[in-house]
Structures are given as structure tokens and as C-alpha cells.
Amino acid sequence: MKKGLLILLLIALTLPTNAQNVFRYSQFNFLKSMYNPAALASDAQLSADLVYRNQWVGLAGAPTTIGMNVASELNSNMALGINFCSDKIGLNQSTSVSAMYSYRMVFANRQYLSLGLGIGADNVIYDYAAASTTMPNDPAFSQSYNLWKLNTSLGAYYRTAKGYVGFSIPQLFQQTPSGPESGFTIPRWHYMLIGGYFFEIGKNAYFNPNIQLKYTKNAPIQGDILLRGVFGSVGVSLGYRTENALIAGADFLIAGKFRVGYSFNYGIGSLTRAKGASHEVHLGFGLPYYYTSDTFGDGKFLSKNGKFKRNYQLRYNRSNNLHRVKS
């Protein structure tokens, strides 16, 4: 119990003095646009995702996170989305809402490079006055903060029929109450890198490794490795989180349009008994999902007349052939 209280105290004291935390989910392979605006509608033409994460179950004041994303393709080259996230740990709570846009450069029917931008607002609450202290009217806990501030995000995302890789900066502004680390502070940016691929291992069976890395200055690189096996409409996952925790989970695709996923984290370090396990539930909706065993990676980036609207590979071939005719 004492170890658990010490963990929460250290986190609560460092959150306002360091950069705002960037949320990490164990089922990040389904939640790419939560971190990266360029990944909007990369898994379905119209999609909606809801995730709930309860970390360190049994520890009072432990982190709980709710995230939601809705995204839609406007056409073969553009997508729009809305992101919402609420995170609470101890006396601190943060809520983010943003609108996102991505532009795609399509090279082939199932291959494109996308650039994305998000803009929104963050509400950060430090409710120190609600703390129970051993010394009545402790001046260190006498003041609370409730801040609304602008925030933006940037990202790039490359997709093929069976794989993806993305890079993003989820938060360009740090929402600390004051001080040199508040606002637009480049040294406190968090950099996210994600990637994954589908290897066919049998009929309607795939091996799907995924990786997620997060880096910020003066901190160790954090990461998740997720090894997922897909058998028809059922996925089974095992993985490792660099905070010395194991990941296990399963997901189910229903009628090609609905996905239900569950993930379990269990620490294997010396503080395992103090922290407890973590649980994560994901509900998804896609019309339809592209990464399925029936229509694998089948994103149809076509116009109404059945042709690519802006296929850069075709454009290059046509201009090259035209040059040859003229010469």
C-alpha cells in the first residue's frame, strides 16, 4: 500500500512540472488516429472507435482513460475526424477535444502517403485543494488550476495493402500552469512512431506484428511490441511494454463491421503487487473494415467513373509516355 501511494504521489507531483502526458493504449493497432491525424479513416471508409482503460486496478487514484475517435473519408484524397480523450489520475484530470484533417497522395489502389493536422482545445484540472493532508491548510496544496488552452497535432502516415507506418507529434503545446515548460516548448514534444504488417500464414490466417514507440527529451524511450495472430474473424495478441509489463488480449470482428477487443496488462517488475493489473476495452465500427481476411487491405480509392482521382504513379507514367511521344 505504501509503495502504491508513493507511486501516485510521484506521478501527481511530476505531471504539472513536466510535459503533459501522451496517452498510450495497448490496442494501438486499432487506435492509430488517436495519436496521428494522418491515419484518419485508414482502416475503414467510415469508422468510430471507443476505448476505456483502467490502469493499476485496486490502487486508489490510479489512472483511468476514455478515448473516442470518429473519422470519414471525404473522397480518395481527404479525410476528416474528431478526437476526444479524458484522462484522470489522482487529483489531476485532463480532457482533449480536436478536429483533424488528412490529405492523401495515392500511388496505387491500396497504397498512399498521408499528411495530417489536428487542432483543438485541452482542459487541464489540478485539484490540489481537494487533497487530504496531514497538516491542515498546507500552503503547498492550497491552490487549484482549471485551464483551457489551444493544442495542435501533426502526423505522417504511409499505408500499403498489408502494412502501415506512421510518425506523429500528438501535442505541440504543453499545458502546465506556468513556467518555462508551458506552451509551445519544442524540447518537451513527444514523438510517436507506429508500424505493423500482415504476413499470410494460411487460409484466412495471418501473423500481424505491431510496434509503438514514444520518445521525449530527457526520458527513456517507451514502447509496446504486440504480436497478433488473426484467424478468420478472431484475433489473439501477446506483447510486451517497456515499463516491464506483459500484454495479452483478444479481438472479434462481427459481420465485417463491428469489432470488440480486450487487452490485459500485467507488470512483472518489483512493483507489480503495488500497482496491480490494467484492463482495456475497445469497441469499434467500420464501414467496412479494410484489413479483413475477405477483402484484405481493400481500400477503393476510385472516383465515380472508376478511375483514380489523383494517382501519382499513374500521373508519372502518363507524363513520361507523353514525353517519349514528343521526343
pLDDT digits (tens, 9 = 90+) for 189-226: 899 999 999 999 998 899 999 999 999 888 899 999 99
Give the pLDDT confidence score for residue 291 in this predicted structure: 67
At 75-97, the pLDDT tens digits run: 889 999 999 999 988 778 889 99
Per the structure, the count of domains in the chain is 1
pTM of the model: 0.80
* Cα(183)–Cα(180) distance, integer angstroms: 8
Give the pLDDT confidence score for residue 2 in this predicted structure: 45
**More confident of the two residues 308 and 118:** 118
At 46-73, the pLDDT tens digits run: 999 999 999 877 677 778 899 999 999 9
**More confident of the two residues 256 and 108:** 256
**More confident of the two residues 87 and 291:** 87
**More confident of the two residues 305 and 297:** 297
* Cβ neighbours of residue 210 closer than 8 Å, sequence gap 6 or more: 28, 29, 194, 195, 196, 224, 225, 226, 227, 228
Average pLDDT score over residue span 297-315: 46
* Cβ neighbours of residue 136 closer than 8 Å, sequence gap 6 or more: none
Beta-strand pair 222-231/234-241: antiparallel
Residue 113, classified by CB atoms within 10 Å of its CB into exposed (0-12), middle (13-18) or buried (19+), is middle
What percent of the chain clears pLDDT 90, i.e. is strictly above it? 48
Residue range(s) defining the domain that contains residue 308: 2-326
**More confident of the two residues 184 and 243:** 243
Strand partners, 149: 122
Closest C-alpha to 115, from 167, 48, 69: 167
Backbone phi, psi, residue 133, to 5°: -115, 155
Cell of 138: 498546507
Cα atoms in the Cβ-side hemisphere of radius 13 Å centred on 300:
11
Helix/strand/coil for 263: strand
* Cα(56)–Cα(63) distance, integer angstroms: 7
**More confident of the two residues 36 and 146:** 36
Could you tell me the pLDDT band of residue 164, with boundaries at 50, 70 and 90?
very high
Average pLDDT score over residue span 306-312: 43
SS percent in the chain: helix, strand, coil, step 5: 15, 50, 35
Please give the C-alpha separations between residue 175 and each of 2, 95, 152, 181, 188, in angstroms, as whole numbers: 30, 11, 12, 9, 11
Give the pLDDT confidence score for residue 217 in this predicted structure: 87
* Cα(264)–Cα(279) distance, integer angstroms: 5
Could you tell me the pLDDT band of residue 20, with boundaries at 50, 70 and 90?
very low
Between 134-138, 280-284, 285-289, 299-303, the lowest mean confidence (pLDDT) is in: 299-303
**More confident of the two residues 275 and 239:** 239
Please give the C-alpha separations between residue 161 and each of 110, 155, 158, in angstroms, as whole numbers: 5, 20, 11
- What average pLDDT is seen over the chain? 80
Report the range out of 14-23, 24-33, 129-138 with the highest average pLDDT: 24-33
**Residue 8, domain CATH:** 2.40.160.40
CA–CA–CA angle 166, 174, 194 (5° rounding): 15
